[in-house]
Amino acid sequence: MLCIILVIAISGTTRSGTAAEQTAGVDSKVYPNAVVAADHPLASAAGIAILKAGGNVVDAAVATSFALSVLRPASCGLGGGGFMVIWDAEQQKSMVIDYRERAPAAATPDMYSRLPGTDAQRQLASRQGPLAVAVPCNVAGLCYAVKEYGKLDLKTVMQPAILMARRGVPINDHMRSVQKSMLARMKQGKLDQKEFQPLIDEYLNHGKPWEEKARFFSPQLKVLELIAENGRAGFYEGPVADAIVATCGKQGGGILTLQDLKDTEPIIRKPLTTSFDGYQILTMPPPSSGGIAIIESFNMIDALEKQVLKHPFADLKFHSPQELHYLTEVMKHAFADRAEYLGDADFVPVPLERLTDPKYASRLAARIDAKQTKKLKDYGRYIPPKDSGTSHLSVMDAAGNAVACTETINLTFGSYVVIPKYGIVMNNEMDDFAAIPGKPNAFGLLQSKANEIEPGKKPLSSMSPTIAVKDGKAVFSAGASGGPRIISSTLQVMLNMIIFGMEPEQAVESPRIHHQWVPEDLLLEQVLYKQAGEQLKQFGHTIKKSSSLAATQAVSRQSDGLRGHSDTRKHGAAAGY
């Protein structure tokens, strides 16, 4: 019976094109029971199939995640890591599973800066190839989630992903555009054909554009089956672990060891919380920087309402230059503190309480000038630097349980390292550290000593899965992919739903802005650039047009039912029942 539900929901059997394919994009519906919003329609469908088969929101999130490793191999998957925020409405309990990758035991702060070669070559080493790989924790996190918080067994929960790998999946527009840009990189010599042959063969159709009706067969079928059969041992021990170490260990030019893999465990944490506009916000603590930045931002907006504006923030016209200016100033303060103070709190002291204290936010808000942006040093507690591929899914059910889960292998196709025989795409999360002190990372983020490399430490992340709870039940859940833009887009989507009263579709599709303090650019999506760009210059901002700022997935629960929306910026679609 279960198998029949899964087959019908995931692949369809009698029609050309799958069931979920045909409903893709139709996600402004209201569902009575549950909703999943992932950045691929078939991944959302996988979560719903598992809920229909008797699973809970955690089972659904894990099924969706494993499906994403097949469907979005450039963004996330077995070779990466992630964060899962859970609200259990029955037990009135929240928890966080931190399955972010760690630096291997042999990593050192100067492992990139002491390499021979040019600056550019050193910088590349934390982004491409085996040395860029941090110890993957995705599989350990997902197995733990099902065992501790799920209702079904791992094998059942993994069935949708295994079916998709076995039967192949249609290639959608997002996969085509990723392939196009990767092939362009290959032509420009930025993706070494010889070194990354397995990536080109297994994921880029041997370097040839996909044909019109082509299907993608994930090379990870075998490893998915091994995990379904043996749990985490199917990945961290035995032939898969040996293959990972042969490629990313000493022999392959990296530093990963069997012991690193064996020692990999997720960490259970308490979410960060604040109250905002009558909601309890639950978000991600360190090693994410996103939760702190989002709480700091909510607190600043609250303080602006009370002290400066003397009226609700929402009374500023939505997307008016004045509203966008305030939002930008809030982001600049939050990102300045990110740069200075944040790292893995298990390794360095992070002034968490002070940064999330509403009194601190009040002091920052009081420094915001309504008419003019300021100099870099005026943001956060700025101290001059000493020298100094992601996927989000949201799940919610009618009882008010929710999961917000963001996973990543960092940049598109991570380190470009693909494990032969098993097709695992390895992350390049080492670049999320301040890999070369004083130099910005791939996202242009300047970071301090708090985020320098240490053995076993987790690189600071921007992933910000966030849930808003009212009267003991989850009402909104959101998160994003897109590096530091995750923080600003999650904040805006949450504000859109909480204070501007939007449904997920409008909240997600509305154009967005982004400012990360350094560089001093205010990025505006096309519509806002046209609409408010000239006026924002009057506030002193340097404005830049941006084609697409992050991809967000959001869900909501209102009195008439559940809604979800997956960002069309990444061709996703929600599903529900």
Q: Which residues bind ligand DON (CB under 6 A)?
A: 389-390, 408, 410, 429, 432, 461-463, 481-483, 486
Q: How far is the CB of 554 from ligand DON (least distance, A)?
A: 16
3-state secondary structure of 408: strand
Which residue number, 126 or 328, has a Cβ lying nearer to ligand DON? 126
Q: How far is the CB of 429 from ligand DON (least distance, A)?
A: 6
Which residue number, 373 or 516, has a Cβ lying nearer to ligand DON? 516
Return the structure tokens found at 360: 């601190």
In degrees, rounded to 5, the angle at the alpha carbon of residue 296 between the alpha carbons of residues 538 and 450 is 105
Q: How far is the CB of 468 from ligand DON (least distance, A)?
A: 22
Q: Are strands 522-525 and 543-546 parallel, antiparallel or unpaired?
A: parallel
Which residue number, 88 or 429, has a Cβ lying nearer to ligand DON? 429
Cβ neighbors of 304 (< 8 A, separation 6 or more) are: 313, 326, 330, 365, 368
Q: How far is the CB of 519 from ligand DON (least distance, A)?
A: 17
What b/e string do you get for 270-286 counting C-beta neighbours within 10 Å, with b at 16 or more?
ebbbbebbebbbbbbbb
- Other beta carbons within 10 angstroms of residue 5's beta carbon come to 16
Q: How far apart are CA 58 and CA 74, in angstroms?
A: 24
Which residue number, 257 or 481, has a Cβ lying nearer to ligand DON? 481
**CA of 244: how far to CAs of 57, 138, 156, 254, 293, in Å?**
31, 14, 26, 11, 35
Would you name the residues annotated as active-site residues?
390
Which residue number, 64 or 556, has a Cβ lying nearer to ligand DON? 64
What b/e string do you get for 501-540 counting C-beta neighbours within 10 Å, with b at 16 or more?
ebbbbebbbbbbbbbbbbeeebbbbeebbebbbeebeebe
Q: How far is the CB of 276 from ligand DON (least distance, A)?
A: 23
Return the structure tokens found at 210: 């996909």
Evaluate whether 490 touches 466 at the Cβ level (below 8 Å).
Answer: yes
Q: How far is the CB of 463 from ligand DON (least distance, A)?
A: 5
Evaluate whether 35 touches 396 at the Cβ level (below 8 Å).
Answer: yes
Which residue number, 34 or 463, has a Cβ lying nearer to ligand DON? 463
Cβ neighbors of 200 (< 8 A, separation 6 or more) are: 186, 191, 193, 206, 207
